[in-house]
Structures are given as structure tokens and as C-alpha cells.
């Protein structure tokens, strides 16, 4: 190998795969990806698949330089106003400012145009990117095409790479997104709103990463499409991505508001009620205790009296077994158990005091059923004294989101991780055996098996399974277990989801 640089004639350091000749470090740094077409696996190229750490170094320096250029060439008050427009939510002040300032900078550099149709980055480029080195110039040329879009993760490839699609670009095929922070927390088929830039061998998301859940994705897209139609187009080439880029903060806030509104509406319409009925005992309480011991649905709990209860209070769990299993025929199939190998559901709780019997359930449906069973089991031995029904869902819906978060308590099962995984896996297997033959509104009230045989339903079936896979993979990540429904995917012929 010739030890002289093939470009400048000075001492060469290595063989350049781009020019296929010897090159020195100075010429490599000054010409890579601009005058030299670098290979995708060159360790010395910041834009290669193996040079991502070099890219991160440039990304750590470049924002300071383009912020300085904006400060010199753009009105400060307008920039500060734009940062306010790009702010959203109740994130920590420092984090919110960094995201908003970054989004505002991208908007000024790459989206906003002057009367001649030029962006501020066009002006800087005409000045040969004054103040930037070769790598920074190359990066800026690619950043010029950055826009906000909705990214859907298809696969997590490793600690930094994900295969993704752009949901607002039907022409572009899947691409490889590099982002270590996102890869560490992402779930397959999760969607997030972010600025997206495509580089030669990988893509990168910046300034955002807000997840758009399946809960609101359709309403979110409908809302922004409707808003773009109401407003006059700034040019014939104006795209939905341009709208998102100009209104990034507003769109992020829209996603937050939609999620809160739908969550509140859902809570206001679901049966989550604390229902308590207190009965006077008209006989010796031992007779009540004997009945509770007689039937299989009542399980005595060996625990000390709770605060405020008399010392001889007895506590029972009321399970959905025996005659009480009858309630399951009116419950969602997800809560039905063919036999106890798949677990036993709960109906409520019972407290037996010296002179009173109290039952507690957490839905009106269970409460009405429980009162019927009390009449059946205890008939003339008790008399209803008073009852209380509290709409817990409405209380939660009306609380500020931070209060709900503070009150959240994680309850862990008192069992080994291995036993927990076995039980959860069995529950999911049972659930998905039923799922295959359930009529589901999202696929036009067809069963998944029926929809899999109908080509017109394939796209809807895929979207349905994506939500299930995403939910399962989130559980796998959070609980560090391995629930697998590949057998469901195989049976439905959806190999693209594996």
C-alpha cells in the first residue's frame, strides 16, 4: 500500500474504501460525504452504519452553531415567541424549553420562507455554511429536509436501531432509525410524533418523540387534516408534514388534550363503582358464619382486624365460583373462565361483624348480582340497613392528571417471577383461543379467523393485531417476561407482523 495520501501527497494513514486509495486524516475529514462518496460501513464516516458515535459528536456541537446563526440573522423577539408556540404540556421546564427551542430553530431554518421562497438555511448555504466544517455542512444539507411526521416502529433491531415507517409518506419504504433513547423504551408498532431526518444510511428523529397512542391516532389525524383544509395553502407543494412542522407545539398539545378527553369520556361511561351494602343481622352471627363456610365462593382471609373494625371481625373474599359463577355469562369473554386452571375471578369482599354483614363490590353489575345472592343465601337472617355507591371512574376522570399519577400504586403478586410468567402465559393462551372466534367491531363484527380469509379485511385485521402485539410487548418489557402469540399470527397468516 502506498503510504502517501492520494489527494494531497502527504503521509497517508489508511486505505479509503471510498476512493480505494490511501488517504490522510485531514483529507478524509475535509472531503468525506461531500467530495468523496463514502461506503455505508466506513468506520470513519459519521453517516455510515458503523460511525454513529461520530455522528453523535457532531450532533452535540452543531446546535450551538446554528443557534448562533439564528441569533445573528433572525429577530430575537420573534424567535422567543416561536419557542412559546412550540411549547406544550406540563413537562419539566428545562425539558420543555429544550424541545420547544429545538423545534423553533428547525422551523426557522428549514420551514419558514421569505418573500422569495427561501429559508434561512438556504441563505446560510449560499454563504457556503460559513463557520461550519465539512461534516457539519453535510449534516445541515440533510437537515434541510427535516419535517415533523408520525413514525411507526416496526421492529427493534438492537440497542440503537429500529425499522420504521413514515405514516404520512406512502411512497417511502421502511427505513432504519437510529436513536438509542427511543430504542430503549419503544414497543413494536408504537407511533410517535417527531421531527424526522433521513441521512445516507440511517434516519434520525429529533425534538419530540411524543407517543400518539392507538387510543387517539384516528381522531388526531382527522383533526389535523381538517385544520389544514380550513386554512389557505401557502403553496401548491404544501404538505401535511409542513403543517405539523409549523404547528408542532399545538399538535403535541392536541394529542395530550385528545387523550385526556377520551380518557375522561371513557371513565365517565364505564362501570367502576365502589358499592357497599350493610345488613343488620337478625340472628346469631354464627349462623351467618356457617353459611359462609358452607359455600365454595366464600374464602376466609386470615388477617388482623383493620383499623376501626371490632376485634372479632371476620373477612372473606367472594369469588366467582359455585353458584356465583353465573354472573360470568353476562361479562366480557376476557373475564370468563371455563375452569379454575385459568384462574378464578373476584365478585367482591365480605365483612362479618358481631351485628352486621357488609358486602363490597367494584361495579354495579356485580353489586346487583351480589345482593340477589345475599337474599338467596341469607334470606330472612339479615335486613338491608343502608347502602353506598361511589362512582370511582368519575372521581378519577375529574382529578388532575398529576394527582392520578401520584396515587398510582403498583401491586405485585406474592409469587416467584417464574410462576407469575407461567400463569400469565396460560391466561393469554386461553384469552387468544377465544379471541380467534370472537366477533370484533374493529373488523366489521367478523371473527379474526373469518377476517383472515377476506382480502378486503386484511388491513383492518393487521391494525387490530398490531394493538394486541404492542400491548403484550409492553407487558413483556415492564414485567420482564416473555408472552408470545406468534401462534395466533401464524394461524391468521399475518407473517409480516413477526
pLDDT in tens, 221-245: 999 988 888 876 666 666 899 999 9
User: Average pLDDT, stretch 350-354?
Assistant: 95
Cβ(327)–Cβ(369) below 8 Å: yes
> C-alpha angle with apex 480: 477 to 482, nearest 5 degrees?
85
pLDDT of residue 109: 97
Last residue of a domain, one of 222, 243, 269: 269
pLDDT of residue 399: 56
Burial zone of 130 (CB within 10 Å; 0-12 exposed, 13-18 middle, 19+ buried): exposed
479 occurs within a structural domain: yes
Between the alpha carbon of residue 68 and those of residues 63, 72, 105, 127, the distances in Å are 8, 6, 10, 15
Task: Indicate the average pLDDT of the chain.
Answer: 87
**pLDDT exceeds 50 at position 93:** no
Q: Which residue has the cell 425499522?
A: 163
94 occurs within a structural domain: yes
pLDDT of residue 414: 47
Between the alpha carbon of residue 367 and those of residues 323, 358, 374, 387, 419, the distances in Å are 15, 12, 10, 11, 32
Co-location of 319 and 265 in the same domain: no
136 occurs within a structural domain: yes
**What whole-number percentage of the chain has pLDDT above 70?**
88
Alpha-carbon distance 426 to 439, whole Å? 22
Co-location of 109 and 248 in the same domain: yes
Burial zone of 400 (CB within 10 Å; 0-12 exposed, 13-18 middle, 19+ buried): exposed
Residue 279 CA to its chain's centroid (Å): 46
Co-location of 253 and 355 in the same domain: no
Alpha-carbon distance 148 to 124, whole Å? 22
Last residue of a domain, one of 247, 269, 291: 269
Last residue of a domain, one of 237, 252, 269: 269
Q: Which three cell numbers stand for residue 104?
A: 423553533
Inter-axis angle of helices 248-268 and 93-106, nearest 10:
130
Cβ(354)–Cβ(314) below 8 Å: no
Co-location of 285 and 392 in the same domain: yes
Q: Which three cell numbers stand for residue 416?
A: 416467584
pLDDT tens digits, one per residue of 54-71: 999 999 999 999 999 999
408 occurs within a structural domain: no
**pLDDT exceeds 50 at position 317:** yes
**pLDDT exceeds 90 at position 298:** yes
Co-location of 152 and 227 in the same domain: yes
Alpha-carbon distance 39 to 36, whole Å? 9
pLDDT of residue 441: 85
Co-location of 227 and 367 in the same domain: no
Among 42, 245, 165, 37, which Cα is nearest to 466's?
165
Co-location of 109 and 221 in the same domain: yes
User: Average pLDDT, stretch 292-312?
Assistant: 91
Among 237, 240, 199, which Cα is nearest to 223's?
240
29 occurs within a structural domain: no
**pLDDT exceeds 80 at position 332:** no
Backbone angles phi, psi at 388, to 5 degrees: -140, 135
Alpha-carbon distance 142 to 54, whole Å? 16
Alpha-carbon distance 460 to 432, whole Å? 18
Co-location of 180 and 306 in the same domain: no
Alpha-carbon distance 15 to 6, whole Å? 10
pLDDT band at 91 (very low <50, low <70, confident <90, very high): low
Co-location of 201 and 90 in the same domain: yes
Burial per residue of 138-166, b for 16 or more beta-carbon CB atoms within 10 angstroms, e otherwise: bbbebbbebbbbbbbbbebeeebbbebbb
224 occurs within a structural domain: yes
Co-location of 203 and 83 in the same domain: yes
pLDDT of residue 335: 63
pLDDT of residue 137: 98
For 205, the 3-state DSSP assignment is strand
pLDDT of residue 284: 94
Strand boundaries in 326-424, DSSP class E: 346-352, 356-361, 382-391
Alpha-carbon distance 97 to 115, whole Å? 29
Alpha-carbon distance 47 to 61, whole Å? 16
Alpha-carbon distance 132 to 391, whole Å? 61
Q: How many domains does the chain have?
A: 3
Alpha-carbon distance 326 to 130, whole Å? 77
Sign, CA torsion 340/344/347/353: positive
Among 114, 215, 196, 113, which Cα is nearest to 153's?
196
Among 252, 219, 58, which Cα is nearest to 148's?
252
pLDDT band at 291 (very low <50, low <70, confident <90, very high): very high
30 occurs within a structural domain: no
pLDDT of residue 178: 97
The highest-confidence range among 211-225, 278-292, 387-401, 461-475, by mean pLDDT, is 278-292
Count of residues making up the chain:
498
Residue 285 belongs to domain spanning:
273-397
pLDDT of residue 447: 93
Among 165, 154, 174, which Cα is nearest to 473's?
154
4 occurs within a structural domain: no
Co-location of 64 and 154 in the same domain: yes
Backbone angles phi, psi at 469, to 5 degrees: -60, -40
Co-location of 53 and 177 in the same domain: yes
Amino acid at each position: 500500500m502506498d503510504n502517501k495520501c492520494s489527494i494531497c501527497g502527504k503521509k497517508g494513514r489508511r486505505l479509503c474504501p471510498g476512493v480505494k486509495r490511501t488517504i490522510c486524516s485531514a483529507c478524509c475529514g475535509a472531503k468525506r460525504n461531500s467530495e468523496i462518496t463514502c461506503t455505508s460501513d466506513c468506520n470513519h464516516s459519521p453517516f455510515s452504519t458503523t460511525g454513529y458515535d461520530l455522528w453523535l459528536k457532531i450532533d452535540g456541537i452543531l446546535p450551538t452553531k446554528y443557534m448562533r446563526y439564528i441569533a445573528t440573522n433572525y429577530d430575537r423577539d420573534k424567535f422567543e415567541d416561536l419557542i412559546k408556540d412550540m411549547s406544550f404540556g406540563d413537562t419539566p421546564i428545562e425539558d420543555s424549553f429544550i424541545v420547544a427551542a429545538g423545534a423553533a430553530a428547525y422551523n426557522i431554518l428549514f420551514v419558514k420562507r421569505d418573500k422569495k421562497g427561501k429559508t434561512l438555511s438556504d441563505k446560510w448555504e449560499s454563504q457556503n455554511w460559513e463557520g461550519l466544517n465539512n461534516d457539519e455542512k453535510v449534516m445541515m444539507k440533510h437537515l434541510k429536509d427535516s419535517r415533523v411526521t408520525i413514525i411507526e416502529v416496526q421492529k427493534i433491531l438492537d440497542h440503537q436501531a429500529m425499522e420504521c415507517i413514515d405514516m404520512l409518506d406512502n411512497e417511502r419504504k421502511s427505513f432504519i432509525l437510529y436513536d438509542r433513547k427511543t430504542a430503549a423504551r419503544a414497543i413494536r408498532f408504537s407511533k410517535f410524533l417527531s421531527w424526522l431526518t433521513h441521512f445516507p444510511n440511517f434516519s434520525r428523529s429529533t425534538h419530540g418523540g411524543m407517543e400518539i397512542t392507538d387510543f387517539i391516532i384516528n381522531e388526531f389525524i382527522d383533526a389535523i387534516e381538517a385544520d389544514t383544509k380550513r386554512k389557505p395553502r401557502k403553496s401548491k407543494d404544501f404538505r401535511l408534514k409542513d403543517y405539523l412542522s409549523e404547528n408542532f407545539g399545538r399538535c403535541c398539545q392536541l394529542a395530550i388534550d385528545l387523550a385526556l378527553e377520551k380518557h375522561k369520556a371513557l371513565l365517565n361511561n364505564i362501570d367502576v363503582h365502589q358499592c357497599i351494602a350493610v345488613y343488620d343481622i337478625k340472628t346469631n352471627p354464627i349462623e351467618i358464619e356457617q353459611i359462609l363456610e358452607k359455600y365454595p365462593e366464600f374464602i376466609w382471609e386470615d388477617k388482623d382486624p383493620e383499623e376501626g373494625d371490632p376485634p372479632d371481625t371476620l373477612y372473606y373474599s367472594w369469588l366467582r365460583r359455585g353458584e356465583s359463577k353465573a354472573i360470568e355469562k353476562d361479562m366480557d369473554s376476557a373475564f370468563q373462565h371455563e375452569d379454575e386452571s385459568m384462574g378464578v375471578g373476584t365478585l367482591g369482599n365480605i365483612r362479618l361483624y358481631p351485628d352486621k354483614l357488609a358486602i363490597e363490590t367494584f361495579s354495579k353489575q356485580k353489586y346487583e348480582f351480589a345482593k340477589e345472592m345475599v337474599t338467596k343465601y341469607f334470606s330472612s337472617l339479615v335486613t338491608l340497613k343502608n347502602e353506598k355507591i361511589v362512582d370511582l371512574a368519575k372521581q378519577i376522570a375529574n382529578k388532575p392528571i398529576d394527582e392520578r399519577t401520584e396515587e398510582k400504586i403498583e401491586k405485585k403478586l406474592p409469587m416467584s417471577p417464574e410462576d407469575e410468567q407461567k400463569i400469565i402465559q396460560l391466561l393469554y393462551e386461553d384469552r387468544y383461543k377465544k379471541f380467534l372466534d370472537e366477533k370484533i367491531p374493529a373488523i366489521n363484527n367478523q371473527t379474526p379467523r373469518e377476517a383472515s380469509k377476506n382480502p378486503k379485511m386484511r388491513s383492518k385485521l393487521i391494525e387490530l393485531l398490531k394493538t394486541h402485539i404492542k400491548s403484550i410487548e409492553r407487558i413483556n418489557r415492564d414485567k420482564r417476561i416473555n408472552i408470545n402469540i406468534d401462534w395466533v399470527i401464524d394461524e391468521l397468516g399475518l407473517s409480516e407482523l413477526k
